[in-house]
Structure 1
Amino acid sequence: MNDRTSDPTAEECPRAAASVVLLRDGPQGLEVLLQRRHAQSRVLGGLYVFPGGKVDDDDADPAWAPLLDTPAAALTVPLAEPALSPAQAQALYVAAARELWEEAGVALVDAPERFSGVARDAAALGWRQMLVAAGVRLRTQALRPWSRWITPRRPPVGTPRFDTRFFLARLPAGGHASHDAREMTDTLWLTPRQALQRYWAREIELIPPQLMGLAELARHADVASAWAAAAHRTPPCILPETFDDGGERAICYPGDARHPVRERALPGPTRLRWVGGRFEPYDGFEGWFR
Structure 2
Amino acid sequence: MELNHEIIDTPPRDAASVVMLRDGAAGLEVLLMRRHTDSAVLGGAYVFPGGKVDKEDTAPDLLARLDRDPAELHARLGEPGLTPAQAAGLYVAAAREAAEESGLLYLQLGDAEVATRSAEACERLRTGTTFGALLAEREARLDTDALAPWSRWITPRRPSVMNKRFDTRFFLAAAPAAQETRIDDFEVTEARWLPPRTALQQYRAHEIDLAPPQIISLLHLMQYADVAAAMQDARARRPALVEPEPVETSETRVLCYPGDPMHSVPERALPEPVPTRVVWRNKRFEPPEGFGPFLD
TM range (shorter): over 0.9
Under a length normalisation based on structure 2, what TM-score does the superposition of the two structures give? Answer: 0.91
SS at match of 2:123: coil
Q: Tell me what 1:51 maps to.
A: 49
Instruction: State the distance in 1 between where 2:145 and 2:159 align.
Output: 33
- The one of 271, 282, 288 aligned to 1:276: 282
Q: Deviations over 1:162-219 (max 9, x none)?
A: 0000000101111212321111001100111011011011100000100000000000
Q: Tell me what 1:144 maps to.
A: 148
SS at match of 1:11: coil
- The one of 99, 102, 114 aligned to 1:101: 99
Does structure 1 retain, via aligned residues, the 8 Å contact 2:154–2:242?
yes
Does structure 2 retain, via aligned residues, the 8 Å contact 1:218–1:289?
no
Instruction: State the distance in 1 between where 2:161 and 2:207 align.
Output: 19
Q: Deviations over 1:45-98 (max 9, x none)?
A: 100000000000011112223311001111011111111110110110000000
Q: Tell me what 1:135 maps to.
A: 139
Greater shift in the superposed pair: 62-71 or 108-117: 108-117
Q: Tell me what 2:37 maps to.
A: 39
Query: Are 2:91 and 1:85 equivalent residues in the alignment?
Result: no
Query: Are 2:292 and 1:286 equivalent residues in the alignment?
Result: yes
Instruction: State the distance in 2 between where 1:74 and 1:87 align.
Output: 11
Under a length normalisation based on structure 1, what TM-score does the superposition of the two structures give? Answer: 0.93
Does structure 2 retain, via aligned residues, the 8 Å contact 1:30–1:221?
yes
Q: Deviations over 1:206-264 (max 9, x none)?
A: 00100000000000010011001111111011000000122411111000000000001
SS at match of 1:64: helix
Instruction: State the distance in 2 between where 1:164 and 1:141 align.
Output: 19
Instruction: State the distance in 1 between where 2:33 and 2:76 align.
Output: 27
Q: List runs of 5+ in structure 2 lacking aligned partners.
A: 1-6
Query: Are 2:123 and 1:120 equivalent residues in the alignment?
Result: yes
Alpha-carbon spacing, 1:158–1:10, altered in 2? closer, same or farther (3 Å): closer
1:289 positional shift: 7.0
SS at match of 1:36: strand
Aligned-residue identity in percent: 50
Alpha-carbon spacing, 1:119–1:216, altered in 2? closer, same or farther (3 Å): closer
Q: Tell me what 1:230 maps to.
A: 234
- The one of 194, 205, 226 aligned to 2:198: 194
Instruction: State the distance in 2 between where 1:47 and 1:27 align.
Output: 26
| Aligned-residue CA RMSD (Å) | 1.7
- Equivalent residue letter for 1:170: A
- The one of 51, 63, 66 aligned to 2:64: 66
1:134 positional shift: 2.3
How many residues are matched? 282
**4+ residue runs over 4 A deviation:** 287-290
- The one of 182, 188, 197 aligned to 1:178: 182
- Equivalent residue letter for 2:205: A
Greater shift in the superposed pair: 238-247 or 196-205: 238-247
Instruction: State the distance in 2 between where 1:271 and 1:187 align.
Output: 28
SS at match of 2:239: coil
- The one of 251, 259, 267 aligned to 2:263: 259
Query: Are 2:207 and 1:203 equivalent residues in the alignment?
Result: yes
